[in-house]
Amino acid sequence: MIKPVKHRNIADQVFEQLRDMLYRGEVGPGERLMSERDLAALFEVGRPTVRTAMQRLIDQGLVESRRGVGVFVLDQEKIVEKRPLLQALNGETYTVADIQEIRMALEGKSAELAAQRATDEDLRLIRRGIERMKRERIEHEIRINTDISFHMNIAYASKNVVQIHLMKSFYEVQTYAMSYSYTKVLESLRIDELIDAQHDAIFQAIVARNPDSARQAMEKHIGTILEICREHGL
């Protein structure tokens, strides 16, 4: 939900809220963002502020401006190779399995905290992500963005600012890992029903306010992907 911005660093705050909307899947790949004028009215800021925030989204490869049409959300899977990924690793050798190991620690805690702190709005967004993924599988139009939004919404539900910022920083790395592992291995294994069942188990544990079960369900889910990555040398 967009909130009026009334403090310093206004463009940064607008950017953060818009980026959160994309990370949470409130605006999906191929969808058009509201106009600059409409966003300025909703945020209660000037249009130059919105323009600055929008340019940051463009610079990060999250959206693109189409002349005379508007600004549209990009499909991260399709542009992943065009982005300056993993700069923090400084050229180190790493594997997708390495990334999954870090996800295990980060997201297990996200699920645990979400089970304690998720609001009704958080639960709605997490549930919507699950429904979208199932619909995309039926329509054979799997989008990595949708899967990542499911996990990001659990992180937002943790209400832990440090946890959320860690997951935001990890977004690009996670996009790369999930896109690569899906196209190289996961798609051919036909484990969609298993993944859907694991997502459902995570969500149900959060709804039941059971932190231990939520953490274990998340660890089991990521552990499945980790084991597959190891088996196939990813």
Query: What is the torsion angle, in degrees rounded to the nearest 10, for the CA atoms of residue 22, residue 121, residue 198 and residue 187?
Result: -20
Could you tell me the two tokens for 68? 């005379």
Q: Which residues of the chain fall short of a pLDDT of 70? A: 1-8, 76-92
Write down the pLDDT at residue 113.
97
Give CB contacts under 8 A, 24+ apart, made by 218-224.
Answer: 218/107, 218/108, 218/110, 218/111, 218/112, 218/154, 219/104, 219/108, 221/195, 222/100, 222/103, 222/104, 222/107, 222/108, 223/104, 224/191, 224/194, 224/195, 224/198
Q: Rounded to whole angstroms, how far apart are CA atoms 186 and 100?
A: 14
Write down the pLDDT at residue 138.
81
In the chain, where the domains are located: 10-74, 82-231
Write down the pLDDT at residue 90.
58
- Of the CATH numbers 1.10.357.10, 1.10.10.10, 1.10.3470.10, 2.60.40.290, which one belongs to the domain with range 10-74? 1.10.10.10
CATH for 82-231 is 1.20.120.530
According to DSSP, residue 47 is labeled H
